[in-house]
Amino acid sequence: QLQLVESGGGLVQPGGSLRLFCAASGFALDSYAVGWFRQAPGKEREGVVCITSTGGTTTYVDSVKGRFTISRDNAKNMVSLLGNSLKPEDTAVYYCAAAGAAGGNHCSDSMWEYDYWGQGRQVTVSS
């Protein structure tokens, strides 16, 4: 079964850090671009950051630039998202997704361009 499994997240205090992990099962993630999306209550899902199969990164949300970092470990078939200086407005369900077009060398903030999705992890930033 081809799937993405996320872990991490949970309750974080304002100013704290976040680590989310996305592991692929049943396929090799190194041929895919991987994006992290998030969906806050009452809002549409938005692309946050993406990494290509060759390691190039793109950040789509201005408010997370300089605070969120995406990285990949192909040996572990996994992508990570590290967030620092978290704010209440970062509260959302976070999803990872994999896109195989162009050998994984194309990032996009359009959810329609992704082939596989994780189940989502709740991140709540609150004191």
Mean pLDDT of the chain: 96
pLDDT band at 1; cut points 50, 70, 90: confident
112 phi and psi angles, rounded to 5 deg:
-75, -10
Q: So what's the pLDDT on residue 78?
A: 97
CA atoms within 13 A of residue 110's CA, in its CB half-sphere: 4
- The reported pLDDT for the residue numbered 3 is 93
Q: From residue 117, give the alpha-carbon distance in Å to each of 38, 63, 73.
A: 12, 24, 18
Beta strands in the chain (DSSP E): 3-8, 10-12, 18-25, 33-39, 46-51, 57-59, 68-73, 78-83, 92-99, 116-117, 121-125
pLDDT per position as a tens digit, 58-89: 999 999 999 999 999 999 999 999 999 999 99
Cross-strand partners of 68: 83
Q: How far is CA 57 from CA 26, 48, 61, 120, in A?
A: 24, 11, 13, 21
